[in-house]
Structure 1
Amino acid sequence: MKVLYAGDACSKIGPVFVASPFNLEVKGFSHHIWGQPLIDALKQGGIEVVHMTNEQAISDFPRTVEGLSEYDVVIISDCECEVLALYPFWIPGTPLPRTNRLKAIREYTRNGGGLLMIGGWTSFSGRFGHGGYYNTPVEEALPVTCMKGLDDRVEAPEGVRVHVKNPDHPILRGIPWDECPVFEGYNRIFPKEGAEVLATIGEGEDEAPLIVTWQFGKGRAMAFASDCSPHWAEYFQPWEYYGQFWRQVVHWLAGKE
């Protein structure tokens, strides 16, 4: 199997030294891949992963259904909508945007591909709405709707627990969810009619969907409302069942389960 994974990365500049009013130096520049544990977990299961940072994705993310069809599953996580909607027109030689990548993702899924969106500050609606996937073709393919231009984050520094609704589902089975570590936040998402909520997060009136799936045309799509990396998944990421869970997710999305 082959997975395309966009997002969950940043560029780090510094440290910055200010030695005097006339002497300022930047001593470092590097990339940090927050999603590296997820990449490693999938590769341990024999799954090929092509990862793109956001600055790579804006140029290199496939522009057509045909290009996306080289992959069994597409993962989007902390990769805001504008990264995929726009092209780096400011870079000389960039081909004109003759295609719509958001529509290509929708049709790729409808035609049999697997689509996964993982939560974070720039997923779904995201921080101050900057994730921006509301009212888009990608939202059409997902089993949930997003808040319309609003900040959808629920920060829970005290930790919130997972409540599994269908432990026998191929995505969830074989994992002791009663031992799952807490998450420290999630995006508020809304299941569509016909979608299945496999798990929720939180307690009482604050209980909200965590894992939502559905069939979209010939393909499958899933929304995971929390994160695969810190800070929301600070405790989940090192859990011994973390890798098993994500491998089962990818197998199901690819139609192997």
Structure 2
Amino acid sequence: MAKVLLAGESWISTTTEYKGYDSFTSTKLEIGCEDLLKSLRALGHTVTHLRAHDVPENFPWTLAELNQYDVIMLSDIGSNSFTLSNGVFAGGNPSVNRLALLKQWVQAGGSLMMAGGYLSFSGFEGKAHYHGSPIEDVLPVTIKPYDDRVESPQGVQPLEAKDNPITRGLGEFPVILGYQDIEPKAASQVLMTADSAPLLVTGTAGKGRTLAYGTDIAPHWASQDFMAWDNYGKFFSRCISWLAGDLA
């Protein structure tokens, strides 16, 4: 089974409660990938979760550090978190471009997955900002330079676009509530669609494998029915196994 580094999929929320004349503020760390982590680990994968606020300082700085993993998964974490470390943003010092480092790692044989969300691909108001980045160079899709969300509150059912070892035999997928407007590259394989738009796309970059999943691994785009689906963990496990070369 694969050794995976999942970066992102957490956030810190601040709430101010007003009670008449007085108010108080509370802060909470929230983890959006708890179900995914539990499912992947139960299926035998070794998964390290690097929370979003730790990415700027603790995401791997060298190829040797990246080589500890079979698969890197980016989920709901924008490009600024990889380029604006404290040394660069606060200190004004040159540093490693970890987006370029990740591209180099993939081309040398590493495997990369990006899952959708408000800070994936282009994202909400374009803030994820992967368009034109080294990550777009290796992903099997092109990324819009503007807000690429397609909100589908009515629910859209993911459909197999072609027979493949990732989705084969999993049955009907529950509805999702939105997805990213991404475009498959010429040499990529579109395995699933949503409203005829590419949803699950695979490809290669140099010696490495890459996968784009254009919707969320957790609510809100992943509906509650999707989260409760019996094959939720198996689907993402197969994505990881394909990337790691354990699935033909």
TM bin (shorter chain): over 0.9
The CA deviation at 1:18 is 4.4
Matched residues, number: 245
Question: Is the CA contact (8 Å cut-off) linking 2:88 and 2:94 kept in structure 1?
Answer: no
Instruction: Tell me what 2:35 maps to.
Output: 37
The whole-number CA distance in structure 2 between the counterparts of 1:166 and 1:5 is: 27
Matched, 1:107 2:104: yes
The whole-number CA distance in structure 2 between the counterparts of 1:98 and 1:125 is: 24
The CA deviation at 1:34 is 0.7
Matched, 1:198 2:191: yes
Question: Is the CA contact (8 Å cut-off) linking 1:87 and 1:97 kept in structure 2?
Answer: no
Say which SS state the counterpart of residue 99 (structure 1) adopts: coil
Instruction: Tell me what 1:123 maps to.
Output: 120
Question: Is the CA contact (8 Å cut-off) linking 1:166 and 1:172 kept in structure 2?
Answer: no
The whole-number CA distance in structure 1 between the counterparts of 2:94 and 2:76 is: 23
The CA deviation at 1:39 is 0.8
Say which SS state the counterpart of residue 236 (structure 1) adopts: helix
Between 28-37 and 223-232, report the one with greater CA deviation. 28-37
Say which SS state the counterpart of residue 181 (structure 1) adopts: coil
* Aligned residue among 126, 133, 136 for 2:133: 136
The whole-number CA distance in structure 1 between the counterparts of 2:39 and 2:92 is: 35
Task: Give 5+ residue unaligned stretches, structure 2.
Answer: none
Instruction: Tell me what 1:83 maps to.
Output: 81
Matched, 1:161 2:154: no
Instruction: Tell me what 2:168 maps to.
Output: 173
Partner AA of 1:185 in structure 2: G
Question: Is the CA contact (8 Å cut-off) linking 1:38 and 1:228 kept in structure 2?
Answer: yes
Between 186-195 and 65-74, report the one with greater CA deviation. 65-74
Alpha-carbon RMSD across the aligned residues, in angstroms, is 1.8
Distance 1:91 1:198, change over 3 A: closer
TM-score, scaled to structure 2: 0.93
Distance 1:136 1:241, change over 3 A: same
The whole-number CA distance in structure 2 between the counterparts of 1:111 and 1:133 is: 21
- Map 1:1-257 onto structure 2 (within 5 A): 1-14=2-15, 16-20=17-21, 23-26=22-25, 28-89=26-87, 97-148=94-145, 150-167=146-163, 169-176=164-171, 179-202=172-195, 207-234=196-223, 235-257=225-247
Question: Is the CA contact (8 Å cut-off) linking 2:111 and 2:208 kept in structure 1?
Answer: yes
Point out 4+ residue stretches in structure 1 off by more than 6 angstroms: none
The whole-number CA distance in structure 1 between the counterparts of 2:88 and 2:135 is: 25
The CA deviation at 1:12 is 2.8
Partner AA of 1:224 in structure 2: Y
TM-score, scaled to structure 1: 0.90
Task: Give 5+ residue unaligned stretches, structure 1.
Answer: none
Partner AA of 1:193 in structure 2: A
The sequence identity of aligned pairs, in percent, is: 37
Partner AA of 2:235 in structure 1: F
The CA deviation at 1:19 is 4.8
The whole-number CA distance in structure 2 between the counterparts of 1:154 and 1:147 is: 12
The whole-number CA distance in structure 1 between the counterparts of 2:207 and 2:76 is: 26
The CA deviation at 1:29 is 2.8
The CA deviation at 1:17 is 4.3
The whole-number CA distance in structure 2 between the counterparts of 1:170 and 1:88 is: 42
